Amino acid sequence: MHLRKLLIPFLIFAEVLISLSSTQATPTNSKLFREYIGAEGKNVRFSDVPIYPNVDFHFILSFGIDYTTSISSPSPTNGNFSVFWDTDNLTPSQISSIKAKHRNVKVAVSLGGDTVGDDKYVYFQPSSVESWVGNAVSSLTKIIDEYNLDGIDIDYEHFVGDPEIFSECIGRLITTLKRNGVIEFASIAPYEDDAVQNHYLELWRNYADVIDYINFQFYAYDRSTTIPDFLKYFEIQSSNYKGGTVLVSFGTDKSGGLKPNNGFFTACRRLRREGKLNGIFVWSADDSKASGFPYERQSQVLLGSHHTCSRYPRLPCELLG
């Protein structure tokens, strides 16, 4: 006991010296948890989802889409966004209520997505950069104000046009919304696909300074993904989006990647020990509702329980009590 008491101040002093002499910022973990909600019409409400007080919690409404709302024949509207999430259960008043009840909650809207209407692909299809940005800023400002939202997420997965046009449209959109005080944060949601990566990496090269989080869709990898595979993929994408806050992820649907019951949280603990756990996001609350959100609970326990150790990341947390 006495040895342990003597050892702790010495180790902390050594840690401070190492930190001061380091030429690079010490990596730290995050307590950010994010979850997509509202895409699948399963009557999920914000209040259904467990929210732990010691994490930063982001709901991401799925989706806002610049398409007409026709079910049978939706068509692109060049940046004029409409609401496509479950508006019966995820209303402005319910957003205000959940944010009042849980001060650690913020709410964003995801733009684009995979499909619209009767499973037709959503294409990013601007008529021109100027017209698309103008329409998007105007229509999204109205939606964000009406729903009291805090940020946006970019999740286009199909494209008409080259990566440079995508980069300019999305980069200018985020920049303008931030400059106007409409949003606090912005994220992007790429995955491992040549066309997708070409577009998002071009955006990252040109506008990394206005992108706060990379919601990388690790669940788009093969279902045979192992823990070593997952950790390798994380390093690859952290290098691709160098300097960015890359979050890890899993799906509670039938998607692929490393599932919680196959070692996802083991991989997260490894990243946490290395100071690389930037946060966790889940697709999606709609799919988790039937099982009672067990993995959302486990994610938040993991993120919240260790966060106090980030000040001295080289020291075992057990020593710090």
Catalytic residue IDs:
157
Q: Which position has the token pair 């209520």?
A: 97
Handedness of CA 266, 272, 277, 282 (dihedral sign): positive
Beta bridge pairs of residue 215: 247
C-alpha of 230 from chain center:
17
The answer to whether the CB of 307 falls within 8 A of the CB of 54 is yes
Q: Is 290 helix (H, G, I), strand (E, B) or coil?
A: helix
- Other Cβ atoms less than 10 A from the Cβ of 258: the count is 28
> What are the angstrom distances between the C-alpha of 228 and each of 8, 46, 256, 302?
33, 34, 15, 20
DSSP string spanning 168-222? HHHHHHHHHHHHTTS-SEEEE---S-HHHHHHHHHHHHHHGGG--EEE--GGGS-
Q: Are 147 and 95 in contact (CB under 8 A)?
A: yes
DSSP, residue by residue, 40-91: S-S---GGGS---TTSEEEEEEEEEESB---SSS--B-TT--EE-S-TTTS-
Cβ atoms 170, 136 nearer than 8 A: no
Strand partners for 116: 120
